[in-house]
Amino acid sequence: MLKAKNSLGLILFPAFDWRISPTHPEREERLLYTIDQIEEEGLFDYENIKIYNPEMIDSKYIEMTHFCIPTISSIVTVSHKIAAGSAITIAKKVLSKEVEKGFALIRPPGHHAHRVTYGDRGFCIINNEAIMVEYLRKEYKIKKIAIIDTDCHHGDGTQDIFWNDKDVLFISLHQDGTTLYPGTGFTDEIGGPSAIGYTLNLPLPPYTSDDGFLYCLDNLIIPVLEEFKPDIIINSAGQDNHYSDPLTNMNFSAQGYAKLTEKLSPNISVLEGGYSIESALPYVNLGIIFALAGIDYSNIKEPDYNPERLKQSQRTTDYIKRLCEHVYSIWKSKEEREYKIKMANQDYYVRKKSIYYDTMGFRENQLEKIKNCKKCSGLILIDSLCLGYRVLAIVIPHDACNDCENEGHKLFENTEVGDYSHILLQDKKSFEFFRRTS
């Protein structure tokens, strides 16, 4: 049998029973063509490339990541639970050292799912990578985690969940939000009061090519990772930056994806978007797999690949250079920025958010308050209005001090249920979830 340089675990879950519609690009064919390509290339003949079965998630990990309204069972399908469970399964195989690298080729995707979720937005209901992070923290005591999101759409859900958590570095590399859903991911979105600079966004101009993506990796992402020193690197491996994708406007290629994966060297990759079902996904997924396994990927090219046609403009090149310099300056000044916020005479850091559920056609209005605590990252309170529900969601963070922990439980116990349809509490410190409904 053949042998790859690195041992690699794969999970393939096309989710036959879930799609937006029979003709919508978010459907099972996204992975079926990839599976055919993997078989054709003989990857199953490599003795240290292992295929694992998908698994269902334990709902407690969903509860510790999301507030699902009205309930988990009412909005989260079996396919979503298997996709999230499969991300955890591949993480277990890597952490137990059965394999060196892991790639969960799963759907439905998840990176647009916020902490509070009422249903499907951006084809996402629950956040596969965020749920996996909660699992890794609880079961493996992993401390510092980096999530690098290379989907063409900004990973606004992942950003929201780890907004005030400096143990999770989140970097999103995406098409500029002024030109693409969800319209977020700008350079001034840099994290909450206790995690300033641990959210970094790189909004790229349309028609950015391989050179632009790899420049960001070499000149911003890798230097930041070297300074952050994560215990594990997760790649939210969206593939809709591809030049043939019908929903986006970028010029990334299968060769570019493979080079990015080789340089980034994530421990775990999780498939997100990518909707050029025949022209891109089989080649991009194969390039990522070869790069993770340490197999030569130089011959993996799309039939119509023409690097000269895909070349970005000099204006784009110059902009990306300035962008990386600016974002790196945010990273380097994060302690000073956080100190100024912590020293401000302000009890709570407040954000008003309006979150549009594009797939379902409704809007959530949210008021988030983060306690300005000098002893921990701070209690989080979320007042959410949507679909006739009013929700008070309380988050006691992993590093909560006794004061924030006690205040969170008192608010949960003493707030009048009549004012809200749901009063919910995530106690991440003790890994417990509490619920009261009217």
What residue type is 397 in one-letter code? P
Q: Helix 281-293 crosses helix 254-264 at what angle (to 10 degrees)?
A: 30
Task: Return the SS3 of 90.
Answer: helix
Other residues' Cβ atoms within 10 Å of the Cβ of residue 319: 17
Tokens 């025949």 found at: 278
Is residue 247 packed enough to be buried (19+ CB in 10 Å), middle (13-18) or exposed (0-12)? middle
For strand 389-396 and strand 380-386, is the pairing parallel, antiparallel, or unpaired? antiparallel
- 363 phi, psi to nearest 5 deg: -130, 140
For the chain, give the number of residues. Answer: 438
- Number of Cβ within a 10 Å radius of residue 361: 7
Q: Clarify whether 114 is annotated catalytic.
A: no
The catalytic position among 66, 80, 112, 174 is 112
* CA atoms of 129 and 271, how far apart (whole Å): 10
3-class SS of residue 405:
helix
**Displacement of CA 262 from its chain's centroid (Å):** 19
Laid out side by side, the sheet with 362-371 consists of 348-357, 362-371, 380-386, 389-396, 422-427, 432-437
Residues designated catalytic: 112
